Amino acid sequence: MLTQDQLSRLLEQTQNIAKEVGAFIRKERQHFDVEKVEHKGFNDLVSYVDKEAERQIVEKLSEILPEAGFITEEGTNNTQAELYNWVIDPLDGTTNFIHGIPNFSVSIALIEKNEVVLGVVYEINRHECFYAMKGGGAFCNDTKIKVSGAPDLSASLIATGFPYYNFELIDRYLNSMKSLMQKTHGLRRLGSAAVDLCYVAAGRTEGFFEYNLNSYDVAAGAIIVLEAGGTVTDFSGGSDYVFGRKIVASNGNIHAEFLAVLDEFWK
């Protein structure tokens, strides 16, 4: 098992990797050719930037923790190890990136067995690096962050992400949104789940929910929320949010009320 000192060193190294790869992505965006976009599936877009960014991340992470395996979005390396695995989204918010909307990020987490122990999310356009390790608190650019103190949904701003494929559950989702619109300060859809989670951690929003997500979308952001004093569950209030494809994050104060709204439509 890694010691706290070892985790701390890995956290610093991971931040540096995220920033280095983020600089590559930022540079590529300046002259990006939309015609080079590929389709993995309906509305599931990928570019050479995603693939090259992931290759760079995997290569650099392999150097700092050789025994770890990988769970990656673009499949550069999905050889998993028994104890440690890196969970990587090289460009969370690809659609934003392709269209030139300035909200996309690099997301890297480290899982020990089934527990996330380290997370880094680098929002490329604002040069904001959010990070946390288990038991170490949450930070943005070396400043400690914490969740909002809003007491209930009526004082809350909620973030979410729209489904872009697999629309079988869209009515449940839209009904959830309709209810939350009437109970909160409003809803926001920014386009990067990793950033959405970090905004909850930083107190910019009070909650976030989304379904149909993958582990690499949420693993890093989830530990950052937890270390900032927030709460993260699946839609039923359980702990299967990294691999369960449904996640609810909040400042903690609103969590029960938030889940009650979702439960009305997601039973």
What is the mean pLDDT for each group of 10 consecutive residues in the chain (267 residues)? 95 98 94 73 66 96 98 92 97 92 97 96 98 98 98 98 84 96 98 98 98 96 98 97 97 98 93
pLDDT of residue 199: 99
CATH number of the domain encompassing residue 19: 3.30.540.10
**Residue 229 contacts by C-beta under 8 Å, 6 or more apart in sequence?**
146, 147, 251, 252
d(CA 179, CA 149): 22
The pTM of the full predicted model, rounded to 2 decimals, is 0.95
Number of compact structural domains in the chain: 2
Which residue ranges are tagged as binding site? 73, 89, 91-92, 217
202 conformational bin, left if phi > 0, alpha if psi -120 to 50, beta if neither: alpha
- CATH code of the domain containing 234: 3.40.190.80
Phi first, then psi: give them for residue 186, nearest 5 degrees: 145, 175
- Residue ending a domain, among 85, 110, 145, is 145
List the domain range (segments joined by +) for residue 225: 153-266
* CA angle (59, 63, 66) in 5-degree steps: 105
| Alpha-carbon torsion angle 62, 66, 69, 74, nearest 10 | 10
Asked if 40 and 90 sit in the same domain, the reply is yes
Determine the pLDDT at residue 44: 53
Compute the distance between CA of residue 83 and CA of residue 190 in angstroms, rounded to an integer.
34
In this structure, are 128 and 164 located in the same domain? no
CB 73 within 8 A of CB 54: yes
User: Counting Cβ atoms within 10 Å, is residue 95 exposed (0-12), middle (13-18) or buried (19+)?
Assistant: middle
The answer on 175 and 73 residing in a single domain is no
Residues 125 and 40 both lie in one domain: yes
CA distance 3 to 189: 38
Verify that 63 and 81 share a domain, yes or no.
yes
For residue 167, the number of C-alpha atoms closer than 13 Å in the C-beta half-sphere is 5
pLDDT of residue 267: 78
Domain C-terminal end among 96, 128, 145 = 145
Q: Do 99 and 71 reside in the same domain of the chain?
A: yes
> Which residues fall in the annotated binding site for Mg(2+)?
73, 89, 91-92, 217
